[in-house]
A and B are shown apart, each in its own frame.
Chain A
Amino acid sequence: MVISPTKKDLSTILNLLGRLILGLSFFMLVPLLVAAAMAESSPFFDFVIGASLSGALGLILLIFFPIRNEISWIHTFFTVSLGWLFFSLLGAIPLFLSGHFGSFLDACFEAMSGFATTGLILIQDLDHLSFSHNTWRHLTMFIGGQGIILASLSILTQAKSVAVGFYLGEARQEKIFPNVIGTARFIWKVSFIFLITGVTAYSLILSKTGLPVLKSVFQAFWLFFAAFDTGGFTPYKQSIAYYHSFQLEIATIVFMILGAFNFNLHFWLWHKDKKEIFKNFEIKTFLFTFFSLLLLVYLPFLGTNFTGLFRGGFYQLISAHTGCGFTNLEEGVLMGFPLLSILAVIFAMMIGGGVCSTTGGIKLMRIGIIFKTIFAEIKRWIMPPNAVFKEKYHHLNNLLLSNKRIKDAFVIFILFIITYVAGALIAVGLGYPGTAALFESVSATANVGLSSGITSPDMPNILKIVYIIQMWVGRLEFIAVFVTLGVLLSFFRK
């Protein structure tokens, strides 16, 4: 039997959605102020329109749809799923008005890419984009990465019990504190400290390369949002390759890795046990998968000098594994790699970073559990038939490899694989080569942003919609989306 929402439930959901949308319109004030400060008159009006229309829609929902019953997990799942779609639609308004997009669909694609912290782009003539629009593009990643739901909750509501549903709904399956508002505060605190550190470091590096101070500071903010929230947008079409700076590449690696760490691990390292970094299951899995894949990437590059190895392989792999999507290679170079190296990058993108982080993909914890289950099964075959043993792993505490954990890991793993393959098959059906199609499908679903070259304003609209859906379901890790669709179906059947 499926839980079917009543009209009262829908009213409650739309009310919550209204609050989130109102929160979005407040976020648009940031680029609006930037436009005013930088004397960018046309972008200023773009953001007045964007913020006013979003605010108006939020208010309409609040006025006409009051909260009619007690808020439960079903409402929050619904709100999370719809929230991402509405954010992309409304966040696209100022982008579309900038005149840098071929269609509103392209602007929606860009906005979804930002909110889902993917980094695939359809913007045209990016190098002539205004400061304020660039601020908005990068801010979408910060909002999406830090959790649009948590952000709006922290600002707009005090409903503590509801917050748990929002948090689980957006694919962060672990709680750091029993009180989710406490979790939100911790995430904000950590992010703020890293923000100060990151922006200072990037500003210094950029100033040293010769950028004017104001530009350095702005671009430092944008690059921090993109690196720490593993988003991958940059203010220039050439991505990190634009800067031609080895120091900047190193600095971005540091924040990509920090963003891909489990926030639980951050908390543990800050407040409890620093030695956890050496014992943690996700870190061990990361080291294993990263260095194994690095070998695959490097095999065809043997004999190249250090600069070639670093720029050619190491940076792309870190960017892929953390789900960031920065690249220090010029357009088209990555897909010129030998097939083995490209496959290694695809595998890294498939895996992603830690659970309860800003990355997408299957996640290290699940990959670790799947590996451990396979080894446990092999052990079981080798051991005497009547031997009893329990497999454990260390993630903050010693945990038992229970059947529930294994089942959960496999369900998400299979859903991701199906989505990766389905997206690739659609692109192949539209005439794209297999490897490039798989690369782009994985990049969209795992919210990475590295591109094989398929994502461009010229690609078929159907493929743009497919990638938008992949970014959406990948970001929410399927469950919130499936619950929403199932419950919605039951509502209309009634």
Chain B
Amino acid sequence: MNTDSIPKTSFYRCTQIFKGKGLLSFFILTLSFLFSLTVYAEAQTITLKSLINNPGKYDGKMVSFEAEAIGDPLGGRKGIWFNVQSGKYNMGIFVKNKDLINQISHWGSYKERGDLIKSEGIFYKNCSVHGGRDLHLVSLEIVEKGGIRDLKAAEGKKRFALFSFVIFLTLGCIYLIKIRLWQQK
């Protein structure tokens, strides 16, 4: 965890002022520390593109971004993996608590547009547990429900398919007749 981003000044002053003043100092110190943590834990909302292009900048930090859930949830060691896509960028997300992803009802595939989700978690440029770049999910929010994709074949395509098939059949017949004629000769 990157402790540099914790606002040290207020925390440091508190420790100096209340040094050696018993319960009160402990109480104020704790409050001050918790306040620092909330500031630290507030996720930076960014795009997946920005995250992938600047992995060093966000390494070990809480981030959140919107992307489409794609593929399938995959079972891993001590948790679940799933993948998201935003434009031409993709990322693997690790979830310890399976319940977090139960709210995803559509996973992107040929026939379906996946749910647009806002994933919040800690990003690791080089995860020491999984040995790669990933996001450890803390919370998830459905931004927009996915659904069935409109996949009807265009009428022009159907007609052209029929036309090319007829040409193929005609040429096939001509070829067979030609072979017959050769054999007769």
Contact = CB atoms under 8 A, between A and B. Distances in A.
B178 A56 contact: no
A308 interface: yes
Interface size classification for chain B = 35 or more
B145 to A, nearest CB: 17
B126 A308 contact: yes
Given A63-B178, A209-B75, A97 B157 contact: yes
Contacts, number: 138
Interface string B42-70: 00000000001101000000000000001
A330 interface: yes
A124 B175 contact: no
Interface stretch (B1-9, B31-39, B166-174): B166-174
A124 B90 CA distance: 12
A275 interface: no
Contacts of A71: none
A423 to B, nearest CB: 24
Interface string A192-205: 00000000000000
B132 A242 contact: no
Contact of A245 (B74, B88, B126): B74
A215 B72 contact: yes
B157 to A, nearest CB: 5
B108 A128 contact: yes
Nearest to B56: A336
Contacts of B72: 210-212, 215
Nearest to B160: A49
A305 interface: yes
A340 interface: no
A212 B165 CA distance: 35
A428 interface: no
B168 to A, nearest CB: 4
Contacts of A376: none
Contacts of A215: 72
B151 A53 contact: no
A59 interface: yes
Interface size classification for chain A = 35 or more
Contacts of B160: 49
A298 to B, nearest CB: 14
Nearest to A54: B168
A311 B127 CA distance: 11
B125 to A, nearest CB: 8
Interface string A54-83: 011001101100000000000000000000
B29 to A, nearest CB: 35
B158 interface: yes
A482 interface: no
A237 B83 CA distance: 11
B153 A244 contact: no
B119 to A, nearest CB: 15
B161 A52 contact: yes
Contacts of B158: 45
A52 B153 contact: no
A164 B83 CA distance: 48
Contacts of B105: none
A307 B157 contact: no
B49 to A, nearest CB: 11
A128 B72 CA distance: 12
A208 interface: yes
A136 to B, nearest CB: 13
A329 B132 contact: yes
A41 B174 contact: no
Contacts of B81: 244
A312 interface: yes
Contacts of A40: 110, 151
Contacts of B108: 127-128
Contact of A55 (B89, B131, B168): B168
Interface string B144-155: 000001011110
A151 to B, nearest CB: 21
A238 B83 contact: yes
Contacts of B129: 307
Interface in B113-165: 126, 128-134, 149, 151-154, 157-158, 160-161, 164-165
Interface in B92-121: 92, 94, 108-110
A42 B90 contact: no
Interface in A310-360: 310-312, 328-333, 336
A41 B153 CA distance: 6
Contact of A124 (B74, B75, B88, B153): B88
Given A63-B174, A128-B108, A307-B129, A52 B92 contact: no
A236 to B, nearest CB: 6
Nearest to B168: A52
A241 interface: yes
Contacts of A42: 151-154, 157
B77 to A, nearest CB: 8
Contacts of B53: 332
Contact of B90 (A127, A129, A305): A127
Given A48-B161, A238-B92, 13 more contacts: A45-B157, A49-B160, A49-B164, A59-B171, A128-B108, A238-B90, A244-B92, A308-B128, A312-B126, A328-B132, A330-B133, A330-B134, A332-B52
Interface of B: 52-53, 55, 70-76, 80-81, 83, 85, 88-92, 94, 108-110, 126, 128-134, 149, 151-154, 157-158, 160-161, 164-165, 167-168, 171-172, 174-175, 178
8 contacts: A59-B171, A210-B80, A211-B74, A236-B83, A237-B85, A241-B132, A307-B130, A329-B132
Interface of A: 40-42, 44-46, 48-49, 51-53, 55-56, 59-60, 62-63, 97, 124, 127-131, 208-212, 215, 236-238, 241-245, 305, 307-308, 310-312, 328-333, 336, 456
